[in-house]
Amino acid sequence: MGGKRWTAEEEQYVKDNFDKMSRKEIAEQLDRTHRSINHKCESLGLEPEPICVGDKFNRLTIGKLYIINRHGQNHTFADCDCKCGKKVKQIRLSAIKSNRNKSCGCYKGEMAAKRMAKMNSGGHKMSDTRLYRIWAAMKTRCSNSKQPSYKDYGGRGIKVCDEWWNSFVCFMEWATENGYTEELTLDRIDVDGGYSPKNCKWSTRHEQAMNRRNTIYETLTAFGETKTLREWSEDKRCVVGSTTLAYRNGAGWEPERAITQASERRGDARGRYSLQLSRYLEKNHPEILDEFLAQ
């Protein structure tokens, strides 16, 4: 037989697993072809004992065996009785032998129930609540590098304290004691600090927007004054929120225009007219634009 020479260890692996694993699985483990595994089993005289009605595999008991031709190839199928009492029809015998099918589906259901019970350890039974989703999302954005928001959290070294990471119940108790309601969001007091009882609070969406890094540290100079975006958003001359102001500043708007130009709102004809007029003046009569914006 051509190909690389078989070692004694490889032959022993085939002997130990030929009746437990599929030929394909053995081939993948040994970096061999499916055909080479078949040849080696034949040369070693390894032929599995024929499966009969009544044989048990995991939770399934063989009730009937038959062959079905599919796409020009014969495949052996079985009808089985599951340990839970259900009957299952037309399961490929190869799937039963390789443990890909262990039951009628009850095994997967039980495993899922156990995982959910572990997730709900502590008896809170709140995995479907908004608070639980907030806790799970907090952990995800600090640990899962595949999440788009990871770069702003885990990628910057933001972590969740051990107390909250290991127990949703502890997080839930803190939330309840610190005024959590369905309208509030989880906010960090120090945007460079991690998630912990001492550095977190419940805020409205507006308050959280005001606590973003760009509104705290990014500055803007207008009217001869230099302030952070947060401070400008609280100035009486500013007619937009901090989020809009941060966007305009990043887009390269003139500082005074970014602060004083009202946002265009759908359905607001007067607002659209003012915006269009200010754009016209900016392009054609810049000398009177400041007077218009001051009105």
121-141 pLDDT, tens digit per residue, is 555 567 778 888 889 989 998
Confidence bin at 268 (pLDDT 50/70/90): very low
pLDDT at position 181 is 84
pLDDT > 90: percent of the chain: 7
Confidence bin at 240 (pLDDT 50/70/90): confident
pLDDT at position 130 is 86
**Mean pLDDT computed over 109-121:** 63
Confidence bin at 187 (pLDDT 50/70/90): confident
**Cα 104 to Cα 127: distance, rounded to the nearest angstrom:** 27
β-bridge partners, 80: 62, 88
pLDDT at position 266 is 44
- Helix, coil or strand: residue 66: strand
Structure tokens at 200: 């977190």
HSE-up (13 A, CA, CB side) for residue 47: 4
294 pLDDT more than 90: no
**Cα 195 to Cα 201: distance, rounded to the nearest angstrom:** 10
Q: In degrees to the nearest 10, what's the CA dihedral of 135, 136, 140, 146?
A: -150
pLDDT, tens digit, 9 for 90 and up, residues 209-237 = 555 545 545 777 888 888 877 777 778 88
Sequence-ordered list of residues with C-beta below 8 angstroms from that of 47, at least 6 positions apart, any chain: 41
Structure tokens at 232: 């400008």
pLDDT > 70: percent of the chain: 75
User: In sequence order, which ranges of the chain are alpha helices (DSSP H)?
Assistant: 8-17, 23-30, 34-43, 93-97, 106-119, 130-143, 162-166, 168-177, 205-210, 213-217, 229-233, 242-250, 255-260, 269-284, 289-293
pLDDT at position 253 is 82
pLDDT, tens digit, 9 for 90 and up, residues 14-43 = 888 887 777 778 888 888 887 888 788 888
**Mean pLDDT computed over 4-19:** 86
Structure tokens at 53: 């009605």
Residue boundaries of the structural domains of the chain: 8-43, 56-108, 130-210, 220-293
Beta strand pairing call for 219-222 and 200-203: unpaired
pTM of the model: 0.37
CA-wise closest residue to 246 among 286, 213, 199, 291: 213
44 pLDDT more than 80: yes
pLDDT at position 82 is 92
